[in-house]
Structure 1
Amino acid sequence: MPSPGPDAQLYVPRHNVMDADAVRPFVSAVATAQLVTVGADGVPDATYLPVLWEGDRLVGHLARANAHWRRVVDGSPALAVVTGPDTYVSPSWYASKAEHGRVVPTWNYSVVHLRGEVRIHDDAAWVRSLVTRLTERHEGARPQPWAVTDAPDDYVTKNLRPIVGVEVVVASVEAKAKLSQNRSDADRAGVVAGLAAEGRDPAGLVAP
């Protein structure tokens, strides 16, 4: 996994560093990202899009009607932000509240920042291949997976025209999991119980 570059901006305290082996599975599971680029005029653009992280490439597609892709300068820097579950954490859940009361609210979340050079692919074959791989990624585990080839070829071709491909050549990766790792076992157990009492699944929201 690439290391963050010298200009990386994600603040990651030592105890919130996501395990390196968990980063790719996390991005694969979320499977979406906010792509942020800056146009030639210095104005930033952001689009939420489906993504695949393949080798050192993060690939996805944007709607042709979305002006974002036309404003992308090929080879310019881009940031893709992949976010997981997040939640408010009440200090009333902590066991330490009853002990000394020195507790405050916080927010738990996980996020991965991927930075690199961005390229646009306005090429029918490239986009078809991408859509095929995206479909296989999301349909593969279904009992009767749908495939791009299940639809008439002319219909697929027609529906590919309104999208364009985008690729980020990943140069650095920053990953943060803020999951109450700095709290005691008793406090984390309190957060788990508090989330469960509110109907929230604590999985992915509190460190094991």
Structure 2
Amino acid sequence: MFIPEHYKNNNIEEIHDFLKNNSFGILINTINGRPWGTHIPLELGKNLKKKDVLVGHIAKANLQSKNLVDGDEVLCIFNGPHSYISSSWYKDEEVPTWNYIAVHVYGTVKIQTSEELLTSLHTLVDKYEQQSEHPISLNDMSKKTMRQVTGIIGFEIEINDIQAVNKLSQGREHDHPKIIDELEKQTPTEKAVATEMKKRLD
């Protein structure tokens, strides 16, 4: 993606944290010459070669599943907080803009075996059930319920390239206090942008 130099994020540790905390992404490949996207959880992990991978699964009924082939390159997009920035918050006249954080990941597909898929499903459910008052486990599910797993395919995406952007009013540092103050008056989405801006003030 297009990223002006002053908006680039090259801190891989920070990017990995972002991917772990914003793991609901968009998987994009090409089907018959057209881009195709599916919104799914894509979890950051390591493969047997200790390479960084994204792990996910999609329904076999999804046309995209029939076009995921070992060795193909795909694009995964992850969005963080974003907000409209009014130029009325600036000291000097300027056009409005948009602040946002996003990451694009390019990688190579490897289709999982049924055993690998089941392992990744356990990992996914266990991760998010930690937040539940009464967590469930796939180990407790009946064979009838678990037969639904036959309707999906799992995959790993070995990461080849990461492009990360933090567009947070760089170059307008003198306006940051006012921008942050205005964002904090709004919804949780805008407040999240303010929080990201304050982190960089520190």
TM-score of the aligned structures, taking structure 1 as reference length: 0.83
Q: Aligned match of 1:85 in 73, 81, 84?
A: 81
Point out the more displaced range, 76-85 or 132-141: 132-141
Other structure's SS at 2:57 match? strand
TM-score of the aligned structures, taking structure 2 as reference length: 0.85
**In the alignment, is the contact (CA less than 8 A) between 2:84 and 2:97 conserved in 1?**
yes
CA-CA distance at 1:142 after TM superposition: 4.2
**In the alignment, is the contact (CA less than 8 A) between 1:62 and 1:164 conserved in 2?**
yes
Report 1:59-208 matches (<5 A): 59-94=55-90, 96-97=91-92, 101=93, 103-121=94-112, 123-152=113-142, 154-185=143-174, 187-200=175-188, 201-205=190-194, 206-208=196-198
Other structure's SS at 1:161 match? helix
Identity of aligned residues (%): 28
The reply on whether 1:58 has 2:49 as its aligned counterpart is no
User: C-alpha distance in 2, partners of 1:38/1:74?
Assistant: 14
Point out the more displaced range, 131-140 or 22-31: 131-140
CA-CA distance at 1:176 after TM superposition: 0.8
**In the alignment, is the contact (CA less than 8 A) between 1:116 and 1:168 conserved in 2?**
yes
Match of 1:6? none
Q: In the superposition, relative to structure 1, how do residues 169 and 78 fare at CA in structure 2: closer, same or farther (>3 Å)?
A: same
Cα RMSD (Å): 1.9
User: C-alpha distance in 2, partners of 1:136/1:17?
Assistant: 33
Report 1:10-89 matches (<5 A): 10-18=1-9, 19-39=11-31, 41-55=32-46, 56-89=52-85
**In the alignment, is the contact (CA less than 8 A) between 2:29 and 2:37 conserved in 1?**
yes
User: C-alpha distance in 2, partners of 1:110/1:118?
Assistant: 25
**In the alignment, is the contact (CA less than 8 A) between 1:148 and 1:156 conserved in 2?**
no
**In the alignment, is the contact (CA less than 8 A) between 2:27 and 2:38 conserved in 1?**
yes
**Higher helix fraction: Structure 1 or Structure 2?**
2
User: C-alpha distance in 2, partners of 1:85/1:166?
Assistant: 27
Equivalent residues, number: 190
Could you report, residue by residue, the CA deviation over 1:23-71 in whole angstroms, capped at 9, with x for unpaired residues? 01100001111111123x3332111111111121111011121111102
CA-CA distance at 1:140 after TM superposition: 2.6
**In the alignment, is the contact (CA less than 8 A) between 2:185 and 2:191 conserved in 1?**
no
User: C-alpha distance in 1, partners of 2:70/2:30?
Assistant: 11
Which runs of 5 or more structure 1 residues have no equivalent in the other structure? 1-9
